[in-house]
């Protein structure tokens, strides 16, 4: 199975899962049942959210121009509790 992307002129893009090599040039839109034409996009990036796209772009940029930091980024420290099994161990 492969995911093919179609574009309906009224409803926008949608994905269809079909067997490899069986995708027709036009497919019925699931919303309006009109003919939607097949479109070609980069594989794996069809449904990337803006956040994921920004992170991917930042990661790509770090290859040539990595960000330099002078200290550890501030973050919320999670208090560490000892594992419950440790309380059952024999004490000296």
Residue 31 engages Zn ion in binding (rule: CB under 5 A)? yes
Beta strands in the chain (DSSP E): 2-8, 12-18, 26-28, 35-39
Query: How big is the site for Zn ion, counted in residues (CB under 5 A)?
Result: 7
27 touches 38 (CB < 8 A): yes
- Site stretch for Zn ion (CB under 5 A), options 4-12, 15-23, 40-48, 78-86: 4-12
Tokens at 19, concatenated: 């067997």
65 touches 57 (CB < 8 A): no
Nearest CB to Zn ion, comparing residues 10 and 63 = 10
Residue 54 engages Zn ion in binding (rule: CB under 5 A)? no
- H/E stretch holding 55 reads helix 50-64
Residue 6 engages Zn ion in binding (rule: CB under 5 A)? no
Residue 32 engages Zn ion in binding (rule: CB under 5 A)? yes
Chain positions contacting Zn ion, by CB under 5 A: 8, 10-11, 29, 31-32, 34
């Amino acid at each position: 199975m492969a995911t093919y992307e179609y574009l309906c002129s009224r409803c926008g893009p949608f994905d269809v899962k079909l067997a490899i090599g069986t995708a027709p040039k036009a497919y019925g839109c699931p919303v309006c049942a009109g003919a939607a034409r097949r479109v070609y996009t980069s594989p794996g990036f069809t449904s990337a959210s803006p956040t994921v796209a920004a992170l991917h772009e930042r990661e790509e940029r770090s290859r040539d121009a990595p960000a330099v930091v002078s200290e550890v980024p501030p973050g919320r420290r999670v208090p560490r509790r000892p594992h419950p099994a440790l309380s059952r161990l024999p004490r000296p």
